[in-house]
Amino acid sequence: MDMTFLLQLLINGLVVGCIYSLVATGFVIIYKATSALNLAQGEFLMVGAYICLDLMTRHNIPFFQSFLITLAFSAVLGLIIERVILRPLIGSHLISVIMVTLGLSSILKALVQLAYGTDTIPFPEVFPPEPVQIGPIPVSQGYLYAIGCVTLLVTLLTLFFKYSKTGVAMRATASNQQVSLSMGISVKKMFALSWAISAIVSAVGGILLGTIRGGIDMSLSFMGLKVLPVVILGGLDSILGAIVGGVIIGVLENLSGGYVDPFVGGGAKEVAPYIALILILMFKPYGLFGKKKIERV
Protein backbone atom coordinates (compact mmCIF):
# COMPACT_ATOMS: atom_id res chain seq x y z
CA MET A 1 0.00 0.00 0.00
CA ASP A 2 2.84 2.38 0.88
CA MET A 3 4.60 1.62 -2.41
CA THR A 4 1.37 2.22 -4.35
CA PHE A 5 0.91 5.56 -2.57
CA LEU A 6 4.50 6.54 -3.38
CA LEU A 7 4.10 5.63 -7.05
CA GLN A 8 0.87 7.63 -7.26
CA LEU A 9 2.58 10.68 -5.77
CA LEU A 10 5.51 10.31 -8.18
CA ILE A 11 3.23 10.07 -11.22
CA ASN A 12 1.13 13.06 -10.11
CA GLY A 13 4.32 15.00 -9.44
CA LEU A 14 5.72 14.08 -12.86
CA VAL A 15 2.57 15.36 -14.61
CA VAL A 16 2.54 18.65 -12.70
CA GLY A 17 6.31 18.92 -13.14
CA CYS A 18 5.98 18.55 -16.92
CA ILE A 19 3.55 21.47 -17.03
CA TYR A 20 5.87 23.48 -14.77
CA SER A 21 8.68 22.72 -17.23
CA LEU A 22 6.59 23.93 -20.14
CA VAL A 23 5.72 27.26 -18.50
CA ALA A 24 9.31 27.65 -17.28
CA THR A 25 10.52 27.15 -20.86
CA GLY A 26 8.44 30.21 -21.82
CA PHE A 27 10.21 32.21 -19.09
CA VAL A 28 13.62 31.06 -20.31
CA ILE A 29 12.96 31.81 -24.01
CA ILE A 30 12.09 35.44 -23.24
CA TYR A 31 14.94 35.81 -20.74
CA LYS A 32 17.50 34.42 -23.21
CA ALA A 33 16.33 36.84 -25.90
CA THR A 34 15.73 40.00 -23.88
CA SER A 35 17.38 39.45 -20.46
CA ALA A 36 14.02 40.29 -18.84
CA LEU A 37 11.68 38.19 -16.71
CA ASN A 38 8.11 38.13 -18.01
CA LEU A 39 5.92 38.36 -14.90
CA ALA A 40 2.80 37.95 -17.08
CA GLN A 41 3.69 34.36 -17.99
CA GLY A 42 0.96 32.96 -15.74
CA GLU A 43 -1.60 35.21 -17.43
CA PHE A 44 -0.57 33.87 -20.85
CA LEU A 45 -1.34 30.42 -19.48
CA MET A 46 -4.70 31.54 -18.09
CA VAL A 47 -5.77 33.34 -21.30
CA GLY A 48 -4.93 30.27 -23.41
CA ALA A 49 -7.04 28.01 -21.19
CA TYR A 50 -10.05 30.35 -21.27
CA ILE A 51 -9.88 30.88 -25.05
CA CYS A 52 -9.78 27.12 -25.70
CA LEU A 53 -12.66 26.55 -23.27
CA ASP A 54 -14.71 29.33 -24.90
CA LEU A 55 -14.20 27.89 -28.39
CA MET A 56 -15.30 24.44 -27.22
CA THR A 57 -18.33 25.42 -25.13
CA ARG A 58 -19.69 28.61 -26.69
CA HIS A 59 -18.84 27.91 -30.33
CA ASN A 60 -18.99 24.08 -30.25
CA ILE A 61 -15.64 23.68 -31.97
CA PRO A 62 -13.99 20.25 -31.42
CA PHE A 63 -11.04 20.13 -29.04
CA PHE A 64 -8.29 19.60 -31.59
CA GLN A 65 -9.40 22.54 -33.74
CA SER A 66 -9.92 24.69 -30.62
CA PHE A 67 -6.42 23.75 -29.50
CA LEU A 68 -4.85 24.86 -32.79
CA ILE A 69 -6.88 28.09 -32.92
CA THR A 70 -5.82 28.87 -29.35
CA LEU A 71 -2.15 28.40 -30.25
CA ALA A 72 -2.55 30.76 -33.22
CA PHE A 73 -4.34 33.30 -31.02
CA SER A 74 -1.60 33.06 -28.37
CA ALA A 75 1.11 33.60 -30.99
CA VAL A 76 -0.64 36.73 -32.29
CA LEU A 77 -1.17 37.95 -28.71
CA GLY A 78 2.54 37.53 -27.98
CA LEU A 79 3.49 39.39 -31.18
CA ILE A 80 1.10 42.27 -30.45
CA ILE A 81 2.29 42.65 -26.86
CA GLU A 82 5.93 42.68 -27.94
CA ARG A 83 5.28 45.18 -30.76
CA VAL A 84 2.99 47.60 -28.92
CA ILE A 85 4.18 47.40 -25.30
CA LEU A 86 7.70 45.99 -25.13
CA ARG A 87 9.44 47.22 -28.29
CA PRO A 88 9.21 50.92 -27.33
CA LEU A 89 11.12 49.97 -24.16
CA ILE A 90 14.19 48.70 -26.01
CA GLY A 91 17.16 50.43 -24.42
CA SER A 92 15.25 51.17 -21.21
CA HIS A 93 16.39 50.01 -17.80
CA LEU A 94 15.68 46.34 -17.14
CA ILE A 95 13.56 47.15 -14.09
CA SER A 96 11.25 49.24 -16.29
CA VAL A 97 10.64 46.27 -18.58
CA ILE A 98 9.92 43.94 -15.64
CA MET A 99 7.49 46.45 -14.11
CA VAL A 100 5.68 46.76 -17.44
CA THR A 101 5.20 42.97 -17.57
CA LEU A 102 3.82 43.18 -14.02
CA GLY A 103 1.30 45.79 -15.19
CA LEU A 104 0.51 43.63 -18.23
CA SER A 105 -0.32 40.71 -15.92
CA SER A 106 -2.86 42.89 -14.07
CA ILE A 107 -4.45 44.02 -17.36
CA LEU A 108 -4.80 40.47 -18.72
CA LYS A 109 -6.21 39.28 -15.40
CA ALA A 110 -8.78 42.09 -15.35
CA LEU A 111 -9.86 41.39 -18.96
CA VAL A 112 -10.35 37.68 -18.28
CA GLN A 113 -12.30 38.44 -15.09
CA LEU A 114 -14.48 40.92 -17.00
CA ALA A 115 -15.22 38.39 -19.74
CA TYR A 116 -15.63 35.18 -17.72
CA GLY A 117 -16.04 36.13 -14.05
CA THR A 118 -14.25 34.55 -11.12
CA ASP A 119 -16.20 31.30 -10.70
CA THR A 120 -14.67 27.98 -11.66
CA ILE A 121 -15.84 26.91 -15.13
CA PRO A 122 -15.95 23.16 -15.87
CA PHE A 123 -13.65 22.06 -18.67
CA PRO A 124 -15.22 19.63 -21.17
CA GLU A 125 -13.98 16.06 -20.92
CA VAL A 126 -11.36 15.71 -23.63
CA PHE A 127 -9.61 12.42 -22.95
CA PRO A 128 -11.18 9.00 -22.32
CA PRO A 129 -12.18 8.64 -18.64
CA GLU A 130 -11.05 5.02 -18.29
CA PRO A 131 -7.70 4.84 -16.44
CA VAL A 132 -4.74 2.86 -17.73
CA GLN A 133 -3.27 0.28 -15.38
CA ILE A 134 0.48 0.78 -14.92
CA GLY A 135 1.80 -1.80 -12.53
CA PRO A 136 -0.27 -1.71 -9.35
CA ILE A 137 -1.84 1.70 -9.92
CA PRO A 138 -4.47 3.11 -12.31
CA VAL A 139 -3.32 6.23 -14.16
CA SER A 140 -5.65 8.74 -15.80
CA GLN A 141 -5.31 8.87 -19.58
CA GLY A 142 -5.31 12.65 -19.26
CA TYR A 143 -2.06 12.41 -17.30
CA LEU A 144 -0.46 10.26 -19.99
CA TYR A 145 -1.59 12.57 -22.79
CA ALA A 146 -0.25 15.57 -20.84
CA ILE A 147 3.17 13.96 -20.41
CA GLY A 148 3.23 12.95 -24.08
CA CYS A 149 2.20 16.43 -25.25
CA VAL A 150 4.84 18.17 -23.14
CA THR A 151 7.53 15.71 -24.26
CA LEU A 152 6.61 16.25 -27.93
CA LEU A 153 6.54 20.04 -27.62
CA VAL A 154 9.86 20.23 -25.77
CA THR A 155 11.45 17.92 -28.36
CA LEU A 156 10.16 20.10 -31.21
CA LEU A 157 11.49 23.23 -29.49
CA THR A 158 14.88 21.60 -28.97
CA LEU A 159 15.08 20.59 -32.64
CA PHE A 160 13.90 24.06 -33.68
CA PHE A 161 16.60 25.86 -31.70
CA LYS A 162 19.32 23.41 -32.71
CA TYR A 163 18.73 22.85 -36.42
CA SER A 164 16.47 25.52 -37.95
CA LYS A 165 17.95 28.75 -39.34
CA THR A 166 15.52 30.85 -37.28
CA GLY A 167 16.28 28.88 -34.12
CA VAL A 168 20.01 29.33 -34.60
CA ALA A 169 19.42 33.06 -35.18
CA MET A 170 17.47 33.26 -31.91
CA ARG A 171 20.31 31.53 -30.07
CA ALA A 172 22.81 33.92 -31.63
CA THR A 173 20.69 36.90 -30.60
CA ALA A 174 20.49 35.57 -27.05
CA SER A 175 24.26 35.13 -26.98
CA ASN A 176 25.28 38.53 -28.39
CA GLN A 177 22.90 41.08 -29.89
CA GLN A 178 25.61 43.30 -31.38
CA VAL A 179 27.29 40.44 -33.23
CA SER A 180 23.87 39.22 -34.44
CA LEU A 181 23.10 42.65 -35.88
CA SER A 182 26.44 42.68 -37.70
CA MET A 183 25.54 39.28 -39.21
CA GLY A 184 22.29 40.67 -40.61
CA ILE A 185 19.97 39.13 -38.03
CA SER A 186 16.93 41.25 -37.14
CA VAL A 187 17.09 41.39 -33.35
CA LYS A 188 13.62 42.95 -33.18
CA LYS A 189 12.13 40.01 -35.10
CA MET A 190 13.87 37.57 -32.79
CA PHE A 191 12.42 39.41 -29.78
CA ALA A 192 8.93 39.20 -31.29
CA LEU A 193 9.31 35.52 -32.09
CA SER A 194 10.47 34.77 -28.55
CA TRP A 195 7.29 36.35 -27.12
CA ALA A 196 5.12 34.44 -29.59
CA ILE A 197 6.72 31.08 -28.72
CA SER A 198 6.53 31.87 -25.00
CA ALA A 199 2.81 32.64 -25.27
CA ILE A 200 2.22 29.40 -27.21
CA VAL A 201 3.94 27.09 -24.71
CA SER A 202 2.15 28.80 -21.83
CA ALA A 203 -1.22 28.35 -23.56
CA VAL A 204 -0.50 24.63 -23.98
CA GLY A 205 0.26 24.43 -20.26
CA GLY A 206 -3.02 26.17 -19.40
CA ILE A 207 -5.07 23.85 -21.62
CA LEU A 208 -3.42 20.75 -20.15
CA LEU A 209 -4.08 22.01 -16.62
CA GLY A 210 -7.73 22.60 -17.54
CA THR A 211 -8.14 19.06 -18.84
CA ILE A 212 -6.44 17.54 -15.78
CA ARG A 213 -8.27 19.64 -13.20
CA GLY A 214 -11.60 19.39 -14.96
CA GLY A 215 -12.13 23.14 -14.63
CA ILE A 216 -10.39 26.52 -14.79
CA ASP A 217 -10.54 29.75 -12.81
CA MET A 218 -8.50 32.86 -12.09
CA SER A 219 -6.05 30.91 -9.92
CA LEU A 220 -4.33 29.73 -13.11
CA SER A 221 -2.64 33.12 -13.28
CA PHE A 222 -0.62 32.29 -10.15
CA MET A 223 1.12 29.49 -12.04
CA GLY A 224 3.64 32.05 -13.28
CA LEU A 225 4.76 32.82 -9.74
CA LYS A 226 4.76 29.12 -8.81
CA VAL A 227 7.10 28.43 -11.72
CA LEU A 228 9.65 31.08 -10.72
CA PRO A 229 11.47 28.65 -8.37
CA VAL A 230 11.67 26.21 -11.29
CA VAL A 231 13.27 28.84 -13.54
CA ILE A 232 15.78 29.94 -10.92
CA LEU A 233 16.55 26.36 -9.88
CA GLY A 234 17.30 25.24 -13.43
CA GLY A 235 19.19 28.38 -14.40
CA LEU A 236 17.53 31.41 -15.94
CA ASP A 237 19.06 30.86 -19.39
CA SER A 238 18.79 27.06 -19.68
CA ILE A 239 15.89 25.25 -21.35
CA LEU A 240 17.27 21.93 -20.11
CA GLY A 241 17.38 23.44 -16.63
CA ALA A 242 13.72 24.48 -16.94
CA ILE A 243 12.75 20.92 -17.84
CA VAL A 244 14.76 19.26 -15.07
CA GLY A 245 13.80 21.93 -12.52
CA GLY A 246 10.10 21.53 -13.36
CA VAL A 247 10.17 17.78 -12.79
CA ILE A 248 12.13 18.17 -9.53
CA ILE A 249 9.76 20.80 -8.12
CA GLY A 250 6.63 18.92 -9.26
CA VAL A 251 7.71 15.65 -7.65
CA LEU A 252 8.99 17.40 -4.51
CA GLU A 253 5.67 19.24 -4.07
CA ASN A 254 3.65 16.06 -4.27
CA LEU A 255 5.94 14.07 -1.98
CA SER A 256 5.83 16.88 0.59
CA GLY A 257 2.05 17.07 0.33
CA GLY A 258 1.66 13.33 0.75
CA TYR A 259 4.19 12.62 3.51
CA VAL A 260 4.91 15.88 5.35
CA ASP A 261 1.58 17.75 5.31
CA PRO A 262 -0.25 15.18 7.49
CA PHE A 263 2.34 15.72 10.26
CA VAL A 264 2.58 19.52 10.14
CA GLY A 265 -1.05 20.30 9.41
CA GLY A 266 -0.52 21.45 5.81
CA GLY A 267 1.62 24.04 4.04
CA ALA A 268 4.69 21.87 3.43
CA LYS A 269 3.72 21.35 -0.20
CA GLU A 270 3.88 25.11 -0.86
CA VAL A 271 7.09 25.71 1.13
CA ALA A 272 9.17 22.68 0.06
CA PRO A 273 10.16 24.01 -3.41
CA TYR A 274 11.57 27.21 -1.89
CA ILE A 275 13.53 25.29 0.76
CA ALA A 276 15.00 23.08 -1.98
CA LEU A 277 15.75 26.17 -4.05
CA ILE A 278 17.69 27.82 -1.22
CA LEU A 279 19.68 24.65 -0.47
CA ILE A 280 20.64 24.10 -4.11
CA LEU A 281 21.55 27.75 -4.71
CA MET A 282 23.91 27.61 -1.72
CA PHE A 283 26.05 25.21 -3.76
CA LYS A 284 25.04 26.21 -7.31
CA PRO A 285 24.41 29.99 -7.24
CA TYR A 286 23.57 30.12 -10.97
CA GLY A 287 21.15 27.20 -10.83
CA LEU A 288 21.65 23.61 -11.90
CA PHE A 289 22.40 24.46 -15.53
CA GLY A 290 22.86 28.24 -15.48
CA LYS A 291 25.99 29.77 -16.98
CA LYS A 292 28.41 31.48 -14.64
CA LYS A 293 28.88 35.10 -15.62
CA ILE A 294 32.30 36.65 -15.22
CA GLU A 295 32.65 40.41 -15.23
CA ARG A 296 36.07 41.90 -16.00
CA VAL A 297 36.86 45.27 -14.53
| Local confidence band at 296 (pLDDT 50, 70, 90 cut-offs) | very low
- Residue 239: its pLDDT value, please? 81
| % of the chain at pLDDT higher than 90 | 23
Per residue in 48-67, pLDDT tens?
999 999 999 999 999 999 99
pLDDT band at 3, cuts 50/70/90? confident
The structure's pTM equals 0.88
Task: Tell me which of 33-47, 94-108, 117-131, 223-237 is least confident.
Answer: 223-237
Strand-pairing partners, residue 121, are: 216
pLDDT reading at 36 higher than 80: no
> What is the per-residue pLDDT for 159?
86
Residue 74: band (very low, low, confident or very high) from pLDDT cuts 50, 70, 90: very high
Task: Give me the DSSP letters along 51-68.
Answer: HHHHHHHTS---HHHHHH
Distance of alpha carbon 246 from alpha carbon 21, whole angstroms: 4
Average pLDDT of the residues in 219-229: 83
The pLDDT, as a whole number, for residue 38 is 85
pLDDT digits (tens, 9 = 90+) for 149-161: 888 988 888 888 8
Give the contacts of 38 (CB within 8 A, at least 6 positions apart): 26, 27, 30, 31, 101, 195, 198
Region 281-289: mean pLDDT is 75
Give residue 28's pLDDT band: very low, low, confident or very high (50, 70, 90).
Answer: confident
Alpha-carbon radius of gyration of the chain: 19
Structural domain boundaries of the chain? 11-233
pLDDT value at position 293?
A: 55
β-pair partners for 139:
132
Mean pLDDT of 220-229: 83
Report the candidate in 270, 249, 157, 150 with the shortest Cα–Cα distance to residue 208.
150
What is the percentage of the chain residues whose pLDDT exceeds 70? 97
DSSP-derived secondary structure for 215-250: EE-GGGGGHHHHHHHHHHHH-TT-HHHHHHHHHHHH
From CA 149, how far away is CA 252, in angstroms rounded?
Answer: 22
Contact call for residues 288 and 229 (beta carbons, < 8 A): no
Instruction: Please report the pLDDT score of residue 291 as a whole number.
Output: 65
Q: DSSP characters for the chain?
A: -HHHHHHHHHHHHHHHHHHHHHHHHHHHHHHHHHS---TTHHHHHHHHHHHHHHHHHTS---HHHHHHHHHHHHHHHHHHHIIIIIGGGTTS-HHHHHHHHHHHHHHHHHHHHHHH-SS-EEPPP-S-SSPEEETTEEE-HHHHHHHHHHHHHHHHHHHHHHHSHHHHHHHHHHH-HHHHHHTT--HHHHHHHHHHHHHHHHHHHHHHHHHHHSEE-GGGGGHHHHHHHHHHHH-TT-HHHHHHHHHHHHHHHHHIIIIIHHHHTS-HHHHHHHHHHHHHHHH-TT-SSPPPP----
